[in-house]
Structure 1
């Protein structure tokens, strides 16, 4: 509502099979993408220098955070702090 977006009446999630060290537990990642974004075609108005500017937002979709791998100096680190959490992605 705050982003003036059209809310979908139905939603669909896809299960991606991945073999990455970040998702050791289940080797799958849930993601939501076209054509069933849960909200789309929105905007937000902001004040810049005393003038109102409108920023369009194409869509918002959800996906599961897989964690993060960092590769440096011949070794790799895997950060699982956010693994499994739902994150929202926006496309402006």
Structure 2
């Protein structure tokens, strides 16, 4: 979870570790918190926790209108794209080594 200076919730991440992989299921930030490093901190904390649990990789799915550039800026590499998922858009699968 991420909070602002007034302890108001501004973001969070939900993830699971299985098959030696951190699976990022959801990462969200309020519009006012974007571009200030909070997302980078959230993903970094999730990756650090995953390393402690023995995860060697991270995996995330994002759609064409979401956060692909954000993940790429944080070291994730495009592994594959499914066009038409949903119709008119694409789902992108990105991965990162945690080693």
Scaled by the length of structure 2, what TM-score is found?
0.26
Q: Which has the higher strand share?
A: 1
Answer with 1 or 2: which has the greater Rg. Answer: 1
Scaled by the length of structure 1, what TM-score is found?
0.27
Q: Which has the higher helix share?
A: 2
